[in-house]
Amino acid sequence: MGCHHDHDNGEFTGVSADYRRRLWAVIAINAAMFFVEMTAGQLGHSQALQADALDFLGDSLTYGISLAVIGASLRTRAAAALFKGLSLSAMGLWVFGSTIYRVFVLGLPAAEIMGLVGFLALVANVVSVLLLIRYKDGDANVRSVWLCSRNDAIGNVAVLAAAAGVWFTSTGWPDVIVATVMAGLFLSSSFQIIRQALAERNTAGQTA
């Protein structure tokens, strides 16, 4: 079954029972992993795990907002996407700031915890990506969901790389570097979402 499209320039807008079911499943996965990773990040003193946990939280909120505005007007969906883009920017800046702070706070992350939880998170994100991959293209609202899912999978591979780096070097710098890269990924995705959302809002204003 192909993706449903409506009349907003032929773009998929999420009006699909199958898409809604997949989003609910992914929301549950992401919410659970936020609590798992944030707890593990605190116990293991890992900035990368905590950054990834925030990504899970951001995704849960993103998917919830996406569900709420499915079927709404283009202006409403664009406004929701713009909010999500700005939220991703704030998350990226927080990770940058906390990473800089981490540089001046000694304490070696627990590589074993990073590796174990990072692998568990990777499995959760691969499942989420597989659930959403058929709906990776669409309006800014749908697009933001896909970008967040993709970021999760990339981020978890990066966390595993950081765990290996910490284990091999016996320093916390791999953890700091990976957290910084992930923050950059958040900001890059937020810029893409914001740009598309603003374009769609302008389109809505012209057709109103």
Q: How far apart are CA 145 and CA 169, in angstroms?
A: 36
In a 3-state reduction of DSSP, which class is residue 103? helix
User: In 3D, which of 59, 67, 21 has the Cα closest to residue 156?
Assistant: 59
pLDDT mean for each 10 residues of the chain (208 residues): 44 80 91 88 75 78 83 82 82 72 58 77 87 80 78 76 78 77 80 84 75
Q: What is the pLDDT of residue 102?
A: 61
Instruction: Please identify which residue in the block is written with the tokens 């998350």.
Output: 91
Pure H helices in the chain: 17-44, 47-69, 74-103, 111-132, 140-169, 173-207
Q: What is the pLDDT of residue 82?
A: 85
Is residue 87 in a domain? yes
Q: What is the pLDDT of residue 186?
A: 78
Q: What is the pLDDT of residue 92?
A: 78
| This model's pTM is above 0.75 | no
In a 3-state reduction of DSSP, which class is residue 4? coil
Could you give the number of structural domains in the chain? 1
Is residue 1 in a domain? no
Domain with 46, as residue range(s), is: 17-207
Which CATH number do you get for residue 89?
Answer: 1.20.1510
